[in-house]
Amino acid sequence: MSAYQELERRFRRLSNLRDALGLLRWDSSTMMPVGGAEARAEQMATLEVVCHEILTDPGLADLLAAAEQETDLGRWQAANLREMRRQWRHATAVGADLVQALTKAAAASEMVWRQARPANDFQAVLAPFEKLLALVRESAEAKADRLGCAPYDALIDQWEPAGRTETIDPLFDDLAAFLEDFIGQVVDHQAARPAVLALDGPFPIAAQRRLAEKLATAVGFDFAHGRLDESLHPFSSGVPEDVRITTRYSKDDFTRGLMAVLHETGHALYDRGLPSGWRHQPVGEARGMSLHEGQSLLIEMQACRSPEFLAFAAPLMREAFGRDGPAWQPDNLYRLYTRVEAGLIRVDADEVTYPLHVILRYRLERAMLAGDLALADLPGAWNDGMRELLGLAPPDDRDGCLQDIHWYEGAWGYFPTYTLGAMTAAQLFDAARRAGPEIAPGIARGDFRPLVHWLGEHVHAKGSLLSADELLTEATGRPLDPAVYKAHLKARYLA
């Protein structure tokens, strides 16, 4: 067995352990009773350490060096070896004790957050949150030394390979400046049009669930290889053969839960479409979270808020809730789904104001990591940032700094991938429609196969063979270009 073949064997074992760990995390967010939290934290910490030990085995460095001298590796094998070394570099930067402590602290913080958010009690989560941040900071500093970058960049790199603030800062500053004027233009434009007619509720949860399943199936979600459940915060998890997505429903507004399902369906399609021939190998994994969020936002924002989709979905919505009338016609539904209005909740935000929610979190988490913002001062800083960027502030922490799970579960450096993903989604959808004139008519019939086929060929099946910019360039003819995103916003909201 060559050095490279031995590496493939070891990474297959690692992948299976991580798959099991992912399902434990899914269960803790959906099914696990509160009393199981301590035992579950111990289980996950043990598995994390076992995975860490596989990557930090002293023999792995020798195998990587030997495999890099092999001259008969194909293109995919060479890329796989590159991704193996990347994972090894991250893992060997931190010790097993830190990995175990970080996993336990994240589980403990998350479980307290699950009770603190409904209770609007930021003080309850503050102590475990501070403990978690201290460990996140320790890990970031260790990885920064190893990667030769700033600590926050080391955190971004975990989610977005080679992602750096020096690239993100000008993109976000330019976008924030653009949106400052653009939002006012859109609001004025909307005011000159007929008012949006409200949809009359309440909307039974069971009916919402059936509608969500029907539309997710139309988009391409395979319930023979996946589940739809409920959780406090919508997410996607699982493995390509068994994808788990969740949402949360409101009796007063079915559009929130439905759009969350369609968003997570985009994630699921990416996972299901990854190259099966490279399953359990690093090169067979998704190419970073900006592309992953790009897939979810492409489905939710680009495709499922389009006039074509709402023409298809309108009769299904009327049937689901036994409603009819002008409010339930496609033109009103389109105005409803594209209405721009600043709100408090990121996951419910419209497409135009959404990036500002992300930019706020990006700025705050950098300040917290650097120690420039004390966690005790987070609620006030959050409210100040909301006033500055969106012109409103939450009445309580439940709809403020407690609304997202990410920080409280240790996912730092993740937030910028949402807006990078929105830009990616616009660019890919634009290229797909130009290459496939049958895509828009297909969506109008509820036939997403032409779109999913194009995404499968140009994104999903590529796995981690290419960098994000290389993949975008092959698929669209250019690397990430915010001009495409701005053009999309102007065409949709000012036309």
* Token pair recorded at residue 181: 């004027």
Q: What strand order describes the sheet that includes 226-230?
A: 226-230, 242-247, 236-239
Place of tokens 């994390």: 48
Place of tokens 């111990």: 42
For residues 304, 308, 311, 312, the Cα torsion angle rounded to the nearest 10 degrees is -70
The one-letter amino acid code at 49 reads V
Q: Which residues contact 483 (CB under 8 A, 6 or more apart)?
A: none
**CA gyration radius for the chain?**
22
Maximum Cα–Cα distance across the chain: 71
* Token pair recorded at residue 214: 């029907």
Could you give phi then psi for residue 237, rounded to 5 degrees? Answer: -150, -165
Which helix (H) or strand (E) covers residue 151, if one does?
A: helix 151-159
Helices 289-297, 468-476: axis angle to 10 degrees equals: 40
Buried/exposed 417-448: b ≥16 CB within 10 Å, e otherwise: bbbbbbbbbbbbbbbbbeeeeebbebbbebbb
Given 8, 110, 264, 293, the catalytic residue: 264
Burial of residue 261, with CB atoms counted within 10 A of its CB: 0-12 exposed, 13-18 middle, 19 or more buried: buried
Is 264 catalytic? The answer is: yes
Pairing relation of β-strands 236-239 and 242-247?
Answer: antiparallel
Active centre residues (catalytic): 264
